Amino acid sequence: MFISTPGAARRTLVGLALTGAATAALATPAGADAPTRIDAEYWGVDCVYSVAGGNTVFLFGSGTTDGSEGGVGAFVEASDGSFVAEGFTPDFTFGDSFGTTLDLEGAIFSIAADITRGGPETTPVRERSGNSWTRGTTTETTLDVETTSASYAGQPVDLSGGSCSGQITAFDVFTTEPAATVYRSRDFDSEICDVEGLPDAQVRITGILPNAYVELVLDHGGENVEKAAGEVTLRGGHGTLITEVYDVFTGDQRTSAAISVALERAGRMTQLVEGEDGFVERTTHTPYREEITVSLADGREGTASCFGVASTSHVKIAPHQD
């Protein structure tokens, strides 16, 4: 033992559709050599209000603050969570005020609101993906969206039965686009090893050497399962983890454990190279023997001897050239 709601789904889909323009604007052209600058500001508003018949209308809007891109979508949900109607419009106002009118399959929903900007909060951006870098800032500004009027199917909406919120996100970033993209990754993974001397115990080691993540599980059957886990740095291939042993189902501590780990090379490194149409991946595998000693504070002890593999992957992606 090595140990839906329709409304929520629809809200997620509508939100993704409306933020698509902002996401697309952050994309950079494939194969470009010069850094790409993104200097743009996007708004987002969402509202929820109770309307006639016990239904609820959900509204989501987003776009650029200069009005060149964007749109507003909404859908109506019944009290039992079932879908009633939906609609979308590219027509809206955004600035000191927000307003739009949508046709929700024959029922018109209109809303108008006043907008007040809060204080901006700027966050530095320093991201790396392979050998591509992004640098700059993002600035978040909370919006106070106060609805002044709303109607649905010709009837005024009770404004006490809901609210609106919003924010503005500004990007000022540079992204490098090297001709070839390089990714590197490393990991270590071992077998799940039986521990001699400890009935029903197994141990496994994973991680990125020299940092190893050790997991010990003692499965005595049913709900009688103990576990100990933690990270230890292997200096010269050796290290000891001191940690608690707890009940998997209750979380209660049962005892403590000292888990000593020793790794040594157990064979030659092997390398595999694969490539096609500008894609080249070089993967190396280095086998290791693991010697593990487990000592529990309650007197139980055991040892394990098994194997693991350290892997390194180097991927280079370049535009295909005929």
- pLDDT level of residue 19 (50, 70, 90 thresholds): very low
The residue written with tokens 């009770």 in the block is 158
User: Residues of the chain with pLDDT > 70: what percent?
Assistant: 84
CA neighbours within 13 Å on the CB side: how many for 156?
A: 6
- The confidence score (pLDDT) of residue 233 equals 94
Residue 233 to residue 247: CA distance in whole angstroms: 25
pLDDT of residue 137 exceeding 60: yes
Going through the chain in order, the beta strands assigned E by DSSP cover 36-50, 56-64, 70-77, 83-89, 93-94, 97-104, 107-129, 132-152, 155-156, 162-175, 181-190, 193-194, 201-208, 211-219, 225-233, 238-247, 253-265, 270-276, 279-296, 301-317
Higher-scoring residue by pLDDT: 77, 199: 77
Reading the block at residue 159, the tokens are: 């404004």
- pLDDT level of residue 26 (50, 70, 90 thresholds): very low
Max mean pLDDT among 34-48, 108-122, 161-175, 266-280 falls in 108-122
pLDDT of residue 12 exceeding 90: no
pLDDT of residue 155 exceeding 90: yes
- The confidence score (pLDDT) of residue 238 equals 95
- The confidence score (pLDDT) of residue 53 equals 84
CB atoms within 10 A of CB 134: 18
- The confidence score (pLDDT) of residue 8 equals 38
Lowest mean pLDDT among 8-17, 114-123, 169-178, 230-239: 8-17
Q: Is the dihedral of CA 300, 301, 304, 309 positive or negative?
A: positive
pLDDT of residue 116 exceeding 90: yes
Higher-scoring residue by pLDDT: 317, 162: 162
Q: 3-state class of 159 per DSSP?
A: helix
- pLDDT level of residue 318 (50, 70, 90 thresholds): low
pLDDT of residue 134 exceeding 60: yes
pLDDT, average across residues 263-289: 85
pLDDT of residue 4 exceeding 80: no
- pLDDT level of residue 57 (50, 70, 90 thresholds): very high
pLDDT of residue 274 exceeding 90: no
- The confidence score (pLDDT) of residue 31 equals 46
pLDDT of residue 24 exceeding 70: no
Higher-scoring residue by pLDDT: 185, 145: 145
At 176, phi and psi to the nearest 5?
-80, 145
pLDDT, average across residues 57-67: 92
Chain-wide mean pLDDT for the chain?
84
pLDDT, average across residues 241-249: 94
pLDDT of residue 270 exceeding 80: yes
User: Residues of the chain with pLDDT > 90: what percent?
Assistant: 61
DSSP string, 232-258: EE-BTTEEEEEEEEEETTT--EEEEEE
- pLDDT level of residue 303 (50, 70, 90 thresholds): very high
- The confidence score (pLDDT) of residue 7 equals 39
Higher-scoring residue by pLDDT: 181, 123: 123
pTM: predicted TM-score of the whole model, two decimal places: 0.50
pLDDT of residue 29 exceeding 80: no
